[in-house]
A and B are shown apart, each in its own frame.
Chain A
Amino acid sequence: MKQDLLATAKSEGDVTLRVWRGSKGGGRFEAYTVPSDEGMVVLDVIHKIQALRAPDLAVRWNCKAGKCGSCSAEINGHPRLMCMTRMNTFAPGEEITVSPMKTFPIIKDLVTDVSFNFEKAKEVPAFKPKPKEADGTRRMYQEDVDRVQEFHKCIECFLCQNTCHVIRDHEENKKAFAGPRMFVRYAALEMHPLDTNDRLELIRAKAGLGFCNITKCCTEVCPEDIHITDNAIIPLKERVVTEFYDPLAWVKRRVMGQRATEPGKGEPEPPSAKA
């Protein structure tokens, strides 16, 4: 049966992908040609390659509808979801390459080790709500939750983490930098109408907000169109500046003793990334 399928001749109705195959030790692009269907996305072609050409081709996917954020890859070098990249967006005859996300260590083929993101998530202090209203309810108004709902759209595809030049070409920065996805998470908590936890010191120091020099690469690749830089990162930077570098706030803290840590003391500014 398999022989018959392989014998299918390349025709007008065929589509070719150059897919990165390999593991930790290295790899190369392999070209695969399979029959084409109307409306195909890159992930459909990958599935067809698995079924007809390379059954052990490793790829992550789940929903195939842009909702789960599993099938992140680099398509012709652009970080994208394979399930939301239509084949008809490429010019006829255009070479199409699919490679794994570059920022994370390779496991096999298109699958990378994204545990960095899950480790950073563990460092985020939990949501801590203020007391309920007198009538026992939680009242929040739509206009107050709109901006946080934007952050909650994140599907954790980690394309923003992948594209962020602070860590893309600087493995050494990963230790002290949480990345755009986590800044969206921090922003969601900081701007949550009910939350009382204070994470600003953590955001400044451990999460490495200062590394970001707002080039907006993360925003550009976000499949959910979250305005990561404008709506999450910049407001967080402003809050950090107000909290730690505003002289009035500093005096207030000294007098009122609101904070245990003194800003700007003992801890050097995080180095800015070499973009």
Chain B
Amino acid sequence: MVDTHSYDVVVVGAGGAGLRAAIEAHDQGARVAVVCKSLLGKAHTVMAEGGIAAALGNVWPEDNWRVHFRDTMRGGKLLNNWRMAQLHAQEAPDRVLELEEWGALFDRTKDGLILQRDFGGHRYARLAHVGDRTGLEMIRILQQNAVHKGIDVYMECTLQRLLTDGGKIAGAFGYWRESGKFVLFGARAVVLATGGVGKAWKITSNSWEYTGDGMAMALEAGADLIDMEMVQFHPTGMVWPPSVRGLLVTEGVRGDGGTLKNKDGKRFMFDYIPEFFRADTADNEREADAWYEDKKNNRRTPDLLPRDEVARAINTEVKAGRGTPHGGVYLDIASRRSPEFIKKRLPSMYHQFKELADVDITATAMEIGPTCHYIMGGVRVDPETAAATVPGLFAAGEVAAGMHGANRLGGNSLSDLLVFGRRAGAGAAAYASRTNARSVDQAQVEAAARAMLAPFEAEGGENPYSIHAELQDTMQSLVGIIRTEAELKDAIVKLDGLSERVDRVSVEGNRQFNPGWHLALDLRSLLQISKAVTRSALMRQESRGGHTRDDYPKTDAEWGKKNVVTRARGGKLELETEPLPQMPEELRQLVMSEEKQGAPA
């Protein structure tokens, strides 16, 4: 007999979005379970550094939701779902203040309010933060809140398949990591809060958990994915030594005054200001440096252009031979801020470089380069309820799409988790309250169980670790920051080849806490989602945000009106374009305005 549980709402994932969803669904009266692959409190949110973007207006009273909305839409190169961006900008301040009600202790202004810091693409200092460990504060507060509410948490439990009944969600099926035994959840509604797929790339800031399983499960259950070509490479990852390559260096370094330099000591970002941001961006060092203190009379430093712009610029500098000895560029805060300031504002960066690279960031510049960080694409959702296109399925956070368009601004992820985590929890609870429990289809369960055990039966197959390494090499070299048709087609052939090999993968040992087996199963979702990314990237014949085509280097107005949609039909991926929801005229004007101050409240 399979270990079986029954809930109104099952939340998959215990990062910021999952915990916030669970808390909301619980408060709305639903019986809720959270199911997560790691121990509680270890999800990716814990690694978030810089802060939570919210127009609280504590540092710059001029800030308001309209300015935040405008920044978000422009940062996303207008591919965002406008309604999500609007709800996000409007609700983020309340979600931050709510964390304070639950015990969060953000850094303070002189007046005792929540301090806000500068970040890329944000007009005003807007990120509520705790030094450079904001994610830790956020996940711990949400975790403790969920525990106090008595919400059931199933830790180290991996869900592999969504169960459907007549096209509607009926539950989910997976295994306990510790014992390898199967577990079945009956549920009226499922909230996916499973994060992204960064582990498909070799140089990544993401942990082992980021294998795209939520997206793969959604696809299999019949849901739409959109914008899968939009992958964010964070400009500043560590590059040396090799063992830490890809580890995140917070944008807060630049937010707090750090600047990018090439090997000649030149602040090269001034050479990379795109037309789209020219009116908002300082074109000389004096103005850029003055902006930190005086935002009324100066434009933003190009060091804090949106991430896609900065990552491409670094990529170009390195390719032109102006990089550091280890293939990055320099990020210098040592010559610009005092050691005391740096240690106070960026304690974990100081610690990370000191311990792992023997570099004292208060004395020398860091060597950094782009690292795969985030996927803007994911499950298509309704802005109000976070409902996916399959009845009973909801999605929030990185696994969902639309909010960030073609490129996410730093700080907008943590606020996204809170705003849409809450909305997903409410949406799922409301759905569960008006629907009957559906019956579990034993055939689906048995098929999933058979597939999960297959790697134990295969003999003489390949080691999952070597296939994973090849997948990472493929995505890194062929589906990276700069893409071309030939390389993307090459990648599709390689990914198909890897899929065939994954079908024959074999694992050693038994089902008890067996990482080789776990990886063998994760590889299936990694590959499926890598294919969705690659094929979407091939389809979009333009460059926009996190998607740059060397063969189509310009942004194309027609492509700006379309989402690329991915569906799975009969196990095969089908792609098409669909029109992007058009925003109301008033908001469109706001977004396109070139006023330095954004717009009045």
A and B: interacting chains: yes
Q: Which residue of A lies closest to B101 (CB)?
A: A129
Interface string of B97-127 (1 = CB under 8 A from A): 1001111010110011100000000000000
Q: Which of B158-182 contact A (CB under 8 A)?
A: 178
Q: Which of A113-135 contact B (CB under 8 A)?
A: 114, 118, 121-122, 124, 126-127, 129
Q: Report whether A139 and B113 are in contact in the complex, using a CB–CB cutoff of 8 Å.
A: yes
Q: How far is the CA of A194 from the CA of B104 in the complex (A)?
A: 10
Q: Which residue of B lies closest to A52 (CB)?
A: B465
Give the residues in chain B near A69, CB-CB below 8 Å.
Answer: 42
Q: How far is the CA of A59 from the CA of B47 in the complex (A)?
A: 19
Q: Report whether A51 and B469 are in contact in the complex, using a CB–CB cutoff of 8 Å.
A: yes
Q: How far is the CA of A129 from the CA of B136 in the complex (A)?
A: 21
Q: Is B341 on the interface with A (CB-CB < 8 A)? A: no
Q: How far is the CA of A38 from the CA of B244 in the complex (A)?
A: 10
Q: How far is the CA of A69 from the CA of B40 in the complex (A)?
A: 11
Give the most central of B40, B46, B113, B507: most A CB within 10 Å. B46
Give the residues in chain B near A127, CB-CB below 8 Å.
Answer: 102-103, 144
Give the residues in chain A near B133, CB-CB below 8 Å.
Answer: 67, 153
The minimal Cβ–Cβ distance linking B44 to chain A, given in whole angstroms, is: 8
The minimal Cβ–Cβ distance linking B237 to chain A, given in whole angstroms, is: 11
Q: Report whether A56 and B240 are in contact in the complex, using a CB–CB cutoff of 8 Å.
A: no
Give the residues in chain B near A44, CB-CB below 8 Å.
Answer: 243
Q: Assuming the A-B contacts A51-B463, A60-B38, A109-B513, are A39 and B243 also in contact, with contact meaning beta carbons closer than 8 angstroms in the complex?
A: yes
Q: Report whether A65 and B240 are in contact in the complex, using a CB–CB cutoff of 8 Å.
A: no
Give the residues in chain B near A195, CB-CB below 8 Å.
Answer: 103
Q: How far is the CA of A126 from the CA of B355 in the complex (A)?
A: 35
Interface size class of A (residues with CB under 8 A): 35 or more
Q: Report whether A66 and B39 are in contact in the complex, using a CB–CB cutoff of 8 Å.
A: no
Name which of A26-34, A141-149, A212-220, A256-264 contacts chain B. A141-149
Q: Report whether B108 and A145 are in contact in the complex, using a CB–CB cutoff of 8 Å.
A: yes
Q: How far is the CA of A189 from the CA of B466 in the complex (A)?
A: 47
Q: How far is the CA of A212 from the CA of B41 in the complex (A)?
A: 26
Q: Report whether A68 and B243 are in contact in the complex, using a CB–CB cutoff of 8 Å.
A: no
Give the residues in chain B near A173, CB-CB below 8 Å.
Answer: none
Give the residues in chain A near B97, CB-CB below 8 Å.
Answer: 138
Q: Is B591 on the interface with A (CB-CB < 8 A)? A: no
Q: Is A175 on the interface with B (CB-CB < 8 A)? A: no
Give the residues in chain A near B463, CB-CB below 8 Å.
Answer: 1-2, 51, 55
The minimal Cβ–Cβ distance linking B40 to chain A, given in whole angstroms, is: 7
Q: Is A176 on the interface with B (CB-CB < 8 A)? A: no
Give the residues in chain B near A192, CB-CB below 8 Å.
Answer: 103, 105
Q: Report whether B465 and A64 are in contact in the complex, using a CB–CB cutoff of 8 Å.
A: no
Give the residues in chain B near A148, CB-CB below 8 Å.
Answer: 105
Q: Report whether B356 and A118 are in contact in the complex, using a CB–CB cutoff of 8 Å.
A: no
Q: Is A240 on the interface with B (CB-CB < 8 A)? A: no
Give the residues in chain A near B355, CB-CB below 8 Å.
Answer: 66, 84, 86
Q: Report whether A152 and B136 are in contact in the complex, using a CB–CB cutoff of 8 Å.
A: yes
Q: Which residue of B lies closest to A109 (CB)?
A: B513
Q: Which of B219-248 contact A (CB under 8 A)?
A: 240-244, 247-248
The minimal Cβ–Cβ distance linking A18 to chain B, given in whole angstroms, is: 19
Interface string of A36-74 (1 = CB under 8 A from B): 011111001000001110011111111111111110000
Q: Is B509 on the interface with A (CB-CB < 8 A)? A: yes
Q: Report whether A149 and B105 are in contact in the complex, using a CB–CB cutoff of 8 Å.
A: yes
Q: Tell me which of B40, B241, B516 contacts A39 (CB under 8 A).
A: B241
Q: Which residue of A lies closest to B352 (CB)?
A: A65
Q: How far is the CA of A76 from the CA of B102 in the complex (A)?
A: 40
Q: Report whether B47 and A68 are in contact in the complex, using a CB–CB cutoff of 8 Å.
A: yes
Q: Is A234 on the interface with B (CB-CB < 8 A)? A: no
Give the residues in chain B near A96, CB-CB below 8 Å.
Answer: none
Q: Which of B29-62 contact A (CB under 8 A)?
A: 38-44, 46-47
Give the residues in chain A near B147, CB-CB below 8 Å.
Answer: 121-122
Q: How far is the CA of A107 from the CA of B512 in the complex (A)?
A: 9
Q: Assuming the A-B contacts A38-B241, A58-B515, A152-B136, are A138 and B352 also in contact, with contact meaning beta carbons closer than 8 angstroms in the complex?
A: no
Q: Report whether B113 and A50 are in contact in the complex, using a CB–CB cutoff of 8 Å.
A: no
Q: Which residue of B lies closest to A128 (CB)?
A: B103
Q: How far is the CA of A52 from the CA of B466 in the complex (A)?
A: 9
The minimal Cβ–Cβ distance linking B215 to chain A, given in whole angstroms, is: 20
The minimal Cβ–Cβ distance linking A107 to chain B, given in whole angstroms, is: 6
Q: How far is the CA of A71 from the CA of B105 in the complex (A)?
A: 26
Q: Report whether B247 and A59 are in contact in the complex, using a CB–CB cutoff of 8 Å.
A: no
Q: Which of A53-109 contact B (CB under 8 A)?
A: 55-70, 84, 86, 107-109
Give the residues in chain B near A63, CB-CB below 8 Å.
Answer: 42, 46-47, 207
**How many residues of chain B get a CB closer than 8 Å to chain A's CBs?**
65
Q: Report whether B243 and A55 are in contact in the complex, using a CB–CB cutoff of 8 Å.
A: no
The minimal Cβ–Cβ distance linking A208 to chain B, given in whole angstroms, is: 20
Q: Report whether A107 and B178 are in contact in the complex, using a CB–CB cutoff of 8 Å.
A: yes
Give the residues in chain A near B509, CB-CB below 8 Å.
Answer: 55-56
Give the residues in chain B near A59, CB-CB below 8 Å.
Answer: 515
Q: Report whether A149 and B515 are in contact in the complex, using a CB–CB cutoff of 8 Å.
A: no
The minimal Cβ–Cβ distance linking A13 to chain B, given in whole angstroms, is: 13
Q: Is B367 on the interface with A (CB-CB < 8 A)? A: no
Q: Report whether B144 and A121 are in contact in the complex, using a CB–CB cutoff of 8 Å.
A: yes
Q: How far is the CA of A57 from the CA of B513 in the complex (A)?
A: 8
Q: Report whether A152 and B514 are in contact in the complex, using a CB–CB cutoff of 8 Å.
A: no
Q: Is B398 on the interface with A (CB-CB < 8 A)? A: no
Interface string of B17-39 (1 = CB under 8 A from A): 00000000000000000000011
Give the residues in chain A near B469, CB-CB below 8 Å.
Answer: 51
Q: Is B462 on the interface with A (CB-CB < 8 A)? A: yes
Q: Report whether B515 and A62 are in contact in the complex, using a CB–CB cutoff of 8 Å.
A: no
The minimal Cβ–Cβ distance linking A267 to chain B, given in whole angstroms, is: 26
Q: Which residue of B lies closest to A57 (CB)?
A: B515
Q: Which residue of A lies closest to B132 (CB)?
A: A67
Q: Is A201 on the interface with B (CB-CB < 8 A)? A: no
Q: Assuming the A-B contacts A37-B242, A84-B356, A139-B113, are A62 and B517 also in contact, with contact meaning beta carbons closer than 8 angstroms in the complex?
A: no
Q: Assuming the A-B contacts A50-B465, A149-B130, are A65 and B39 also in contact, with contact meaning beta carbons closer than 8 angstroms in the complex?
A: no
The minimal Cβ–Cβ distance linking B505 to chain A, given in whole angstroms, is: 10
Q: Assuming the A-B contacts A39-B356, A55-B465, A55-B509, are A152 and B517 also in contact, with contact meaning beta carbons closer than 8 angstroms in the complex?
A: no
Q: Is A169 on the interface with B (CB-CB < 8 A)? A: no
Q: Is A236 on the interface with B (CB-CB < 8 A)? A: no
Q: Is B464 on the interface with A (CB-CB < 8 A)? A: yes
Q: Is A243 on the interface with B (CB-CB < 8 A)? A: no
Q: Tell me which of B39, B41, B107, B137 contacts A142 (CB under 8 A).
A: B107
Q: Is A140 on the interface with B (CB-CB < 8 A)? A: yes
Q: How far is the CA of A225 from the CA of B451 in the complex (A)?
A: 46
Q: Which residue of B lies closest to A67 (CB)?
A: B47
Q: How far is the CA of A108 from the CA of B179 in the complex (A)?
A: 10
Q: Is A16 on the interface with B (CB-CB < 8 A)? A: no
Q: 10 A-B Cβ contacts within 8 A?
A: A38-B243, A55-B509, A55-B514, A60-B39, A61-B208, A62-B209, A118-B155, A129-B103, A138-B101, A155-B136
Q: With contacts A68-B42, A145-B107 known, what are 13 further pairs, Cβ within 8 A?
A: A39-B243, A56-B508, A58-B512, A58-B515, A60-B39, A63-B47, A65-B47, A65-B356, A66-B351, A67-B46, A69-B42, A70-B38, A156-B41
Interfacial residues, chain A to chain B (CB-CB below 8 A): 1-2, 23, 37-41, 44, 50-52, 55-70, 84, 86, 107-109, 111, 114, 118, 121-122, 124, 126-127, 129, 137-142, 145, 148-149, 152-156, 189, 192, 194-195
Per CB-CB distance, the 7 closest pairs between chain A and chain B, nearest first, are: A39-B241, A55-B516, A56-B509, A139-B112, A127-B103, A51-B465, A58-B513
